[in-house]
Chain A
Amino acid sequence: MSRTKTKRYLVLLAAVGLVAAALGGTGTFATFTADVTNSNNTFQTGTLVLSDTVPSVSTCYSNNGAGNSGTCAAIVDTGLVLQKPGGWISGTVTIKNEGSLASSDLTLAGSGSPTCTNTPGTIPGSPNTAQLGSGDLCSTLRFSLEKDDSLGSPLACLVGNVGPTACDKTLGTPLKAWLDTSVLTPFDFSDALTTGATRYYKVYLYLPTSADNTFQGVTAAFNLTWHIAAA
């Protein structure tokens, strides 16, 4: 290397040294890096919605209510009147899993405390109501639950005279006792509902012939709650 070139080289080194020294002898180093990203991973939940349809009333959905617990029309219309001891009334309901998830077993239970309320009425034209309207209708009524097909034909009696036949209303279970038990241990239909599955039920209430005048003009009020959970 010529002397001139040597001088130039060393001056360059000096310049480099000067700059580096001014920087404190450090520098910034851009390293090699690489990144891959698995993007747009998705995790999607299904839905679990129950619908409840009684005749002459629009279908009621669980998501009509807060927390997916809807309040729907009565199955046994409070406008219906048990005419006399030995009489009975009934109501039908259609239950359907409207969600995208299959459910575990459908259950049914009463609710509230008390689970059934007797409200004494008055007898028009009667001067003496002491003996009337005080009977415990809730405990006396006989409750039967029947599973039907889509045309209303009986498939099995589930509460009452349990068996693969239509319910005999006279052999129903005392209403309040059944409701009280169901609060602690909901009635299990042993019937898981797949998505879209529909079930048809009929409720009977029968007033035994043993009911006396104290049962005149009494109203029994109670709730029935149908429940499904994701399987």
Chain B
Amino acid sequence: MTELKKFLLGLMLLGAVTYFGGGGTWASFSAETSNGGNAISSGTLTMSDQINSGGLCLTANATSANNVNPACGAALTLTNVAPGIAASTAKITIQNTGSIDASKFAVWASSTNATLNAAITSGNSVTSLTVSGLEGTVASGDTIVLSYGANTQTFLATAVATPPATTISVQASPPGPATANANYPIGATVTDTTSDTNSGSTAANNTDCYDRQTTSPGTVGATKGTDLNFNPILGNPFCARALLFVQETTGGLNYCWYGSGSPIDPIAPAVGEAVSGLCAIPIIGVTTSGVLTFPGNITSIPITPTTLNGSVSAGDQIVVTSGAHTETFTAGAAANFLIGSTGVTSIPVTSQAVTTPTFPAGSTVVDLTAANAMNSDTTSTLANFDTAHHSTGPIQLPPVTASGTANATASVQLAHNATRTFLVGLYMPAPSGINQNFLQGLVSTFGITWHIDQ
């Protein structure tokens, strides 16, 4: 018997004895005091989401009135991408704007979700939900949860719904006619809580990330996705190929939470990123800003300021190319586009002599280690993020204490008023010798959810 049970039983016994044992009335002197005005107030646990230097998106004033804001805006909108092009990243700043420390802070793949677009009245029969902004695929039989304020109602989908569907057919859960248990106004959240379980090319595919053929060209007059006959979307092939990375940068400390180089997807051998805490993010389009002096030893490669758009870890192979000439160096220390306010101006390398005087300013610079890691990576895809790290498989975010090190036992993961910053980005890999024409003219759409618990 637990201690609590013993205590409560004791109280019960005391109460019974007192009630039945005490009796009689006494006329006696008595006095009373009372302590009035006692009050207890609860703290708050709210959060904000800021993309780059944009405005704050708050949970406190979400349209669903339940401290869940499912529409904080897209962090990444990238068009006309080709394989091997590192997508630009977005900086996301998460702040605990409440008064209570959060013991848990996590990131996960959004569930298939939408917003109610036609109000539902309590007591009315419900056979479908009119929605807007459906993100992801609903499979028949999926559990659909409607939420507004303190009210929720659970339904079962009775048919597949794929974007841009505006209706989700439902019945009650367990199966049967459904009747609304409360009023649900426009703006209520609609969540497929059993989504992100099937990324296969089947009718049961229900991931939040979904593909469509593009309907407008990347450049004026060019072909678009719907012009092509070799880019089917069954199974969301682009979601299954595009790579996602989530790189923390709070306080100048780096930790790769998802992506090539993360603990989930380490790069073998486990050097470089494991120490630097940097995700493998290939540098693209970087050029030297000066001549590599021949025949002197090179200890750093000067690069055009602000062009470094990825990360370099110590030990990475750095290849400099000019025409038919290439020279390979070894990075001596980490470098990424986060360090310094004026951008990185050089990549330190292990001292090495240049073999030919043919590397003028403008020579291209490639981090071959990072590029190879990402081009062969099939783990850190958007589809895998959905199926392995949705709400029941979150990526916990304990505080980072040093680059590459997090304190998993910390009792507070996001203190009140504290902020943590992340770089989120995408990369379309270019695996050697693999024709990826089937990915032409497609657009993948997906969401990322950040969550705190008291």
Residues of A bordering B, CB below 8 Å: 1-3, 6-7, 10-18, 20-21, 24-25, 31-49, 63, 66-68, 98-101, 195-196, 230-231
- With both chains docked as a complex, state the minimum distance between the C-beta of A4 and any C-beta of chain B, in angstroms: 9
- With both chains docked as a complex, state the minimum distance between the C-beta of B32 and any C-beta of chain A, in angstroms: 7
Whether, in the assembled complex, B271 has its beta carbon less than 8 Å from a beta carbon of chain A, the answer is no
Report the separation of the CA atoms of residues A100 and B47 in the bound assembly, to the nearest whole angstrom.
40
Report the separation of the CA atoms of residues A45 and B230 in the bound assembly, to the nearest whole angstrom.
14
Whether, in the assembled complex, B29 has its beta carbon less than 8 Å from a beta carbon of chain A, the answer is no
With A13-B14, A32-B45, A41-B447 known, 18 other A-B pairs at CB within 8 A are A3-B22, A10-B15, A11-B19, A17-B15, A34-B45, A35-B68, A35-B450, A36-B94, A37-B447, A38-B424, A43-B76, A43-B428, A45-B238, A45-B428, A47-B214, A63-B228, A98-B222, A100-B217
**A25 in contact with B8 (CB, 8 Å):** yes
**A47 in contact with B242 (CB, 8 Å):** no
- With both chains docked as a complex, state the minimum distance between the C-beta of B397 and any C-beta of chain A, in angstroms: 14
**A34 in contact with B22 (CB, 8 Å):** no
Whether, in the assembled complex, B373 has its beta carbon less than 8 Å from a beta carbon of chain A, the answer is no
Contacts of B22 in A (CB 8 A): 3, 7
Known: A41-B76, A63-B229. A20 touches B442 (CB 8 A): no
A6, A32, A39, A42 pick with most chain B CB within 10 angstroms: A39
- In B40-75, the 8 Å CB interface with A consists of 43-49, 51, 57, 59, 67-75
Contact of A67 among B9, B113, B437 (CB under 8 A): B437
Report the separation of the CA atoms of residues A47 and B440 in the bound assembly, to the nearest whole angstrom.
5
- With both chains docked as a complex, state the minimum distance between the C-beta of B437 and any C-beta of chain A, in angstroms: 4
Whether, in the assembled complex, B454 has its beta carbon less than 8 Å from a beta carbon of chain A, the answer is yes
Contacts A/B (CB < 8 Å), 16 sampled: A12-B15, A14-B19, A32-B45, A36-B47, A36-B69, A36-B94, A37-B113, A38-B75, A39-B135, A45-B440, A45-B443, A63-B228, A68-B228, A68-B230, A101-B80, A196-B219
Contact of B223 among A18, A33, A39, A98 (CB under 8 A): A98
Whether, in the assembled complex, B341 has its beta carbon less than 8 Å from a beta carbon of chain A, the answer is no
Contact of A42 among B77, B221, B228 (CB under 8 A): B77
Contacts of A34 in B (CB 8 A): 45-47, 59, 67-68, 98, 451-452
**A18 in contact with B230 (CB, 8 Å):** no
Main secondary structure of the interface of B (DSSP, over half): mixed
Contacts of B5 in A (CB 8 A): 20-21, 24-25
Contacts of B94 in A (CB 8 A): 36
Contact with A along B402-445 (1 / 0, CB 8 A): 00000000000000000000001010100000010111111111
Contacts of B19 in A (CB 8 A): 7, 10-11, 14
- In B13-46, the 8 Å CB interface with A consists of 13-16, 18-19, 22, 30, 32, 43-46
> In chain A, what residue has the closest Cβ to B430?
A230
Known: A34-B67, A49-B223, A100-B223. A42 touches B451 (CB 8 A): no
Whether, in the assembled complex, B79 has its beta carbon less than 8 Å from a beta carbon of chain A, the answer is yes
**B12 in contact with A41 (CB, 8 Å):** no
**A38 in contact with B441 (CB, 8 Å):** no
Whether, in the assembled complex, B225 has its beta carbon less than 8 Å from a beta carbon of chain A, the answer is yes
Known: A18-B12, A21-B5, A44-B79. A35 touches B454 (CB 8 A): no
Contact of A35 among B51, B59, B133, B223 (CB under 8 A): B59
Contact with A along B69-112 (1 / 0, CB 8 A): 11111111111111110010000101000101000000000100
Report the separation of the CA atoms of residues A101 and B219 in the bound assembly, to the nearest whole angstrom.
8
Residues of B bordering A, CB below 8 Å: 2, 4-5, 7-16, 18-19, 22, 30, 32, 43-49, 51, 57, 59, 67-84, 87, 92, 94, 98, 100, 110, 113, 133, 135, 214, 217-219, 221-225, 227-230, 238, 242, 382, 424, 426, 428, 435, 437-454
Contacts of B454 in A (CB 8 A): 31-33
Known: A10-B19, A36-B94, A63-B228. A68 touches B437 (CB 8 A): yes
Contacts of B442 in A (CB 8 A): 44-45
Report the separation of the CA atoms of residues A17 and B46 in the bound assembly, to the nearest whole angstrom.
34
Report the separation of the CA atoms of residues A10 and B17 in the bound assembly, to the nearest whole angstrom.
10
List the 10 closest A-B pairs by CB distance, nearest first. A14-B15, A100-B218, A17-B8, A100-B222, A230-B82, A10-B15, A46-B80, A25-B4, A32-B45, A44-B443
**A39 in contact with B72 (CB, 8 Å):** yes
Contact of B426 among A32, A43, A46 (CB under 8 A): A43
Known: A41-B445, A42-B444, A46-B81. A36 touches B12 (CB 8 A): no
Contacts of A7 in B (CB 8 A): 18-19, 22
Contacts of A16 in B (CB 8 A): 8, 11
Known: A37-B448, A43-B78. A17 touches B9 (CB 8 A): yes
B80, B227, B424, B445 pick with most chain A CB within 10 angstroms: B80
Report the separation of the CA atoms of residues A68 and B229 in the bound assembly, to the nearest whole angstrom.
8
Report the separation of the CA atoms of residues A28 and B305 in the bound assembly, to the nearest whole angstrom.
56
**A35 in contact with B228 (CB, 8 Å):** no
Report the separation of the CA atoms of residues A98 and B70 in the bound assembly, to the nearest whole angstrom.
39
Contacts of B242 in A (CB 8 A): 43
Contacts of B13 in A (CB 8 A): 14
- With both chains docked as a complex, state the minimum distance between the C-beta of B40 and any C-beta of chain A, in angstroms: 15
**B449 in contact with A36 (CB, 8 Å):** yes
> In chain A, what residue has the closest Cβ to B26?
A3
Contacts of A32 in B (CB 8 A): 43-45, 67, 98, 100, 453-454
